[in-house]
Chain A
């Protein structure tokens, strides 16, 4: 008697927890979908608008589907309309940005790796202070250094040039890259360096042969970080360059804001997407390593 009573109440409880679980699961998916659409929505509007003609934009709503795949606005954004003065398009500035990003990412990553190596494996008196001041560079508001930097670039004779922007981005990237590499190398046993020294390897050989080959995860993290920062930078680009030497973000701004006639939303949207594509590609290609690298410093081995 008692047993059957017990088992029936268990059945009730089981039934109840089943409904609760089901409800929670639906609630979870509902929330996830809601947030996902919230993030996807602007991208949808951008892509759809860029594929429409101006006529369609004027007549339809923001969300309406384009009549067909119309790539004309993309062509205009990339290569212009072909008539002379006042025609701003992204192609030359895109290459400016590439010419700026590639060396700046390379140098800042390399120098950061080297500095991180010295700060962890060749400790010297006062090294914590050096690191502290480098960290300071991470928190300095960049507006504060615009004037002195402009002066420096002027003295060096590289203002309003891609070379000047490479220098600026390298210098202000070093605090971050150093922080990344230092934290990574701290977890690499110093005994490796000791063993290599006994084996007769010197400062550079230890770095290139022993440490750099095991740094792939943190290199990926640093490259993604630096690439995104430098590619998306607007402040330095707009301050230290104008006209033909400007990087893509500055050109995008000029294009969108300076058009005197009708606002061409489809061209603006296409331009914005073009300006964002490289960082997207870098994330898709290396995103897996990005997550792995960010956590690999924490877990040894």
Chain B
């Protein structure tokens, strides 16, 4: 039984296609993050799961039960919004029990739930306050509390941390993580912040233009991006994508960047399909953090590149190198001194490479 299953889901706003044939499944207790740039359809997808948006095609199942045409309140879900959406005229207590009262829950049960949740979230001192008298973090807690008291099957979070300042955001992120560890409720969480996605999710679905680009564990998203969009979207700075061609000579495969004559051997790479690799136009993907200034593995590939630019950001520096007229970024500790406009010896960690077809931009 899947807690949430989305089948061939499409959604249009007039002639604009917002979601295209989305398929998604979540197992009980998972934390799924929908991640993507603004306008990719992630919030629409969440609203559809909540029942706040209608569907043009496809179905949504919760616990194998087709809820496509079921009212939001009967879907056994709870949602936390970016603006918290606390009812301004009600105090914290009324805000938290509003849903239970609508569902005609017994007085004892309401009190019991309220006490349990408000203690758990440490808002029990704030019950008589109005939302306008709360700080951002407190509002966020109350909003989560309002979702918690209903004991839903699925929690939906719509960019809940975007309105908080940077410091509070990191704190609340940890609290949400703790919350999920303790409650083990299934979560669907929408964000455009990749750090949030990486640190919170047990699975991440990366979306772009209404299509899920990759739905995988955070590790796989980071290490084995399935296309150049994911490779480029995840990581800061994003993955270097060097254009070039593959060459196959007697079983040995190597990569040559266009305009360069250095051959980089490709060993131990898990190709999806080993045929037709010779002369294939590809992107050679390598993250800035996998370029070293000192040899650290036996397999590291040594190369001389000219340093063009250095950006100092405190604990580290981002260096820009020139590789046959293509820019390559590398991330080093800020203690390393590298002279600009001079060839420097660098080491590519070849165990961390990704290769993409240059035409269809998919991983090969």
A201 with B81: CB separation less than 8 A: no
Contacts A194-B50, A199-B146, A200-B99 aside, 18 further interface pairs with beta carbons under 8 A come to A189-B85, A191-B85, A194-B79, A194-B81, A194-B85, A195-B81, A195-B85, A195-B87, A196-B98, A198-B77, A198-B99, A199-B102, A199-B150, A200-B103, A201-B98, A209-B89, A213-B89, A214-B88
B102 with A200: CB separation less than 8 A: yes
B72 with A201: CB separation less than 8 A: no
> Is A205 an interface residue, CB under 8 A from the partner?
yes
B219 to chain A, nearest CB (A): 33
A127 to chain B, nearest CB (A): 14
Also in contact, A214 and B103, with CB within 8 A (given A197-B72, A201-B98): no
A199 with B98: CB separation less than 8 A: yes
B150 to chain A, nearest CB (A): 8
A-B contact pairs, 27 of them (CB 8 A): A191-B82, A191-B83, A191-B158, A192-B87, A192-B88, A194-B52, A195-B79, A196-B98, A197-B52, A197-B73, A198-B50, A198-B51, A198-B72, A198-B73, A198-B77, A198-B78, A198-B99, A199-B73, A199-B99, A199-B102, A199-B146, A199-B150, A205-B102, A209-B89, A210-B87, A213-B88, A213-B89
- Give the size category of A's interface with B: 10 to 19
* B 202-240 to A, binary, CB cutoff 8 A, 1 in contact else 0: 000000000000000000000000000000000000000
A200 with B85: CB separation less than 8 A: no
* B 72-101 to A, binary, CB cutoff 8 A, 1 in contact else 0: 110001110111010111000000001100
Q: Please count how many residues in chain B sit with their CB below 8 Å of the partner chain's CB atoms.
A: 24
Q: How many A-B residue pairs have CB under 8 A?
A: 57
* A 196-228 to B, binary, CB cutoff 8 A, 1 in contact else 0: 111111000100011001100000000000000
B85 with A192: CB separation less than 8 A: yes
Instruction: Name which residue of chain B comes closest to A211, CB basis.
Output: B89
Q: A195, A200, A210: which has the most chain B beta carbons within 10 Å?
A: A195
Q: How far is A109 from B294 in the complex, measured between Cα atoms in Å?
A: 75
A residues bordering B, Cβ < 8 Å? 189, 191-192, 194-201, 205, 209-210, 213-214
Instruction: Name which residue of chain A comes closest to B158, CB basis.
Output: A191
A133 to chain B, nearest CB (A): 22
Which 10 residue pairs of A and B lie closest in terms of their CB atoms, listed nearest first?
A213-B89, A200-B102, A199-B99, A200-B73, A191-B85, A195-B85, A191-B81, A198-B72, A189-B83, A192-B85
A230 to chain B, nearest CB (A): 29
Q: How far is A214 from B103 in the complex, measured between Cα atoms in Å?
A: 24
Q: How far is A16 from B151 in the complex, measured between Cα atoms in Å?
A: 75
Which B43-90 residues have C-beta < 8 A from chain A? 47, 50-52, 71-73, 77-79, 81-83, 85, 87-89
Residues of A within 8 A of B50 (CB): 194, 198
Residues of A within 8 A of B102 (CB): 199-201, 205
Q: How far is A80 from B292 in the complex, measured between Cα atoms in Å?
A: 103
A210 with B79: CB separation less than 8 A: no
Q: How far is A67 from B136 in the complex, measured between Cα atoms in Å?
A: 66
B238 to chain A, nearest CB (A): 32
Residues of B within 8 A of A214 (CB): 88-89
A210 with B99: CB separation less than 8 A: no
Residues of B within 8 A of A213 (CB): 88-89
Q: How far is A214 from B89 in the complex, measured between Cα atoms in Å?
A: 6
Q: How far is A200 from B78 in the complex, measured between Cα atoms in Å?
A: 11
Instruction: Name which residue of chain B comes closest to A189, CB basis.
Output: B83
Q: How far is A236 from B78 in the complex, measured between Cα atoms in Å?
A: 53
A185 to chain B, nearest CB (A): 13
Q: A189, A198, A200, A205: which has the most chain B beta carbons within 10 Å?
A: A198
Instruction: Name which residue of chain A comes closest to B79, CB basis.
Output: A198
Instruction: Name which residue of chain B comes closest to A194, CB basis.
Output: B52
B309 to chain A, nearest CB (A): 42
Instruction: Name which residue of chain B comes closest to A210, CB basis.
Output: B87
Residues of B within 8 A of A210 (CB): 87, 89
Q: How far is A134 from B52 in the complex, measured between Cα atoms in Å?
A: 28
Instruction: Name which residue of chain B comes closest to A193, CB basis.
Output: B85
B67 to chain A, nearest CB (A): 13
Instruction: Name which residue of chain B comes closest to A192, CB basis.
Output: B85
Q: How far is A201 from B87 in the complex, measured between Cα atoms in Å?
A: 12
Instruction: Name which residue of chain A comes closest to B152, CB basis.
Output: A198
Residues of B within 8 A of A209 (CB): 87, 89
Residues of B within 8 A of A197 (CB): 52, 71-73
B90 to chain A, nearest CB (A): 8
A30 to chain B, nearest CB (A): 44
B324 to chain A, nearest CB (A): 51
Q: How far is A197 from B53 in the complex, measured between Cα atoms in Å?
A: 12
Q: How far is A5 from B89 in the complex, measured between Cα atoms in Å?
A: 66
Q: How far is A74 from B105 in the complex, measured between Cα atoms in Å?
A: 62
Instruction: Name which residue of chain A comes closest to B97, CB basis.
Output: A199
Q: How far is A200 from B105 in the complex, measured between Cα atoms in Å?
A: 12
Instruction: Name which residue of chain A comes closest to B81, CB basis.
Output: A191
Q: How far is A201 from B71 in the complex, measured between Cα atoms in Å?
A: 11
Residues of A within 8 A of B89 (CB): 209-210, 213-214
Which B333-353 residues have C-beta < 8 A from chain A? none
A212 to chain B, nearest CB (A): 9
Q: B47, B73, B78, B103: which has the most chain A beta carbons within 10 Å?
A: B73
A112 to chain B, nearest CB (A): 20
B173 to chain A, nearest CB (A): 21
Q: How far is A213 from B47 in the complex, measured between Cα atoms in Å?
A: 26
Residues of B within 8 A of A205 (CB): 102
